[in-house]
Amino acid sequence: MPLALPADRPAGLNLLGLPTGTRLWRIGATAPTDWSWDPFPQPLHRFDPAEGSFRTRYASTRFYGAARERYLDTGRYVPAHHADHLVVELVATRPFRVLDLRNEAKLDLLGLDDRISTSHEPAVWDAAHLLAERARRWWPRIDGIAYRARTTPSSTSNIAFWSIDGCTATARPLRTCTAELDDLVLRRDFTLDFDWG
């Protein structure tokens, strides 16, 4: 994995427009109206910019994908104090423009491979941080980066995004998501430390 990406956008590297109506899911403690878009001084997550020039947030194309990403480090255990965390559903009101790193041809143009989506090697994270900055510079009208999920790569994707312009956003407490939580417990090996429904 190279530490340096092309300074200029490679010829043939285009954006993908996720269709209007695409749904994205996120689980967290705050509602979208309270989200801070202030950047971190140092990158904390995969596609945070290297220079701390903007804020990246993350979502999944499926509810269970968001849950698996959120609770990967706890072994799919959801603690009691998360019962009132919020499930945020974003719905694209126009094509949502992303650099699609799930596409092998695009990875080849960038000199990258699939590790950009899943690896925790420091060199890979350095490349991911730099790619976020370059992508924002290469396309003035880009919404984010689509990449392969670590936990459910065959059925979900993750989206790193930089604003929710072009989306509606709704939020509801996790404990009220009865059907989704039933699915997590009955089919996806989650443990919830609270009552729901």
Q: Looking at residue 166, what DSSP letter applies?
A: T
Residue 48, classified by CB atoms within 10 Å of its CB into exposed (0-12), middle (13-18) or buried (19+), is buried
Q: Which of helix, strand or coil describes residue 150? A: coil
| pTM of the shown model | 0.94
Helix (H, G, I), strand (E, B) or coil at 128: helix
The reported pLDDT for the residue numbered 150 is 82
> Per-residue pLDDT tens for 154-190?
789 999 999 999 999 999 999 999 999 999 999 999 9
More confident residue, 6 or 98: 98
Banded pLDDT at 26 (limits 50, 70, 90): very high
Strand (E) positions, the chain? 16-18, 23-28, 57-60, 77-78, 86-92, 96-100, 144-148, 157-161, 167-173, 191-192
Q: What is the pLDDT of residue 89?
A: 98
Q: Cβ neighbours of residue 71 under 8 Å, at least 6 residues apart?
A: 77, 78, 190
DSSP secondary structure code for residue 171 in this structure: E
Q: Residue 2: pLDDT above 60?
A: no
For residues 47 and 54, what is the distance between their CA atoms, to the nearest angstrom? Answer: 11
What's the alpha-carbon Rg for the chain, to the nearest Å? 17
The yes-or-no verdict on residue 3 having pLDDT over 70 is no
* Extents of the domains making up the chain: 34-192
Q: Which whole-number Å values give the CA distances from 56 to 32, 49, 138, 185, 187, in the listed order? A: 13, 8, 17, 30, 31
Residue 194's pLDDT band, with cuts at 50, 70 and 90, is very high
64-94 pLDDT tens trace: 999 999 999 999 999 999 999 999 999 999 9
Report the alpha-carbon distance of residue 24 to residue 4 in Å, rounded: 31
Q: Phi/psi at 129 (nearest 5 deg)?
A: -60, -45
Answer whether residue 43 shows pLDDT above 70.
yes
CA dihedral 102, 105, 107, 112 (to 10 degrees): 140
